[in-house]
Structure 1
C-alpha cells in the first residue's frame, strides 16, 4: 500500500551523516510552517536546488522526526557537520532516525514536498 509522506532533500554526503547519527542538526535559511514533522523522509541528492522548480533524482535514505527548530549557534558547527557558521540560519533538531534499506529512488525538490512511498 502506498502512502503520502513529506520529504526534504539534502545534498550528499549529509544524508548519510544523518543515517549514521553524526549529523544531528540540519541548517536552513527558513523554518518549517508547522512542527512537529514526523516521518519526514530524507532524500539525498547531489546538487543544491536553488531555484523554484529545481528537481533532480535522489534517494530516500531515512525517516526522521523534527520536533524543534532554533536559531543556529556558532557552537553547533560540528553537530551540523558544517564547514563554517553564519548568523541568521535555523537549526532543525533531527531525532528518531530510521534508515531506509535499501534506499528508494525518488525526486529531490526544494523545501518540504510530498512523495508517495510504499508504507513502511
Structure 2
C-alpha cells in the first residue's frame, strides 16, 4: 500500500512540474515597460482614432509565447491596468449589448490606413 501511495505521489509531482513548465513557456511574460512613443489606437480594421496613448505610459507585456502564440494576428500585445474607487464598468449588462469584435484595438492603425489608401 505504501508503494502505491509513494508512486502516486511521484507521478502527481511530475505532472505538476510539467504543468507549471508548460504554463510558463506558453503564457505572457507580464514584463513591465514604458511606451517609447505616442500611439494612436483605433478599432481593429477601423478607420478612425479612438484614443491616443501618451509616450511614457507604463504597460504590461501580454504577448502569447510558445504554442499559445500560433494564430496570433498581432504579436506585440500589451495591457494597461486602470483602477478606480468607483464602479466604472457594468458587468451585469445584457450580453446582447456586448460586441466582442469591437473590443480589439490596434496600434497598427496608421499602417492599415496607409495601406488602404494605396490600393
Q: Shared topology, TM-score over 0.5? A: no
TM-score range relative to shorter protein: under 0.3
Bigger strand fraction: 1
**Relative contact order higher in (CA < 8 Å, ≥ 6 apart):** 1
Bigger helix fraction: 2
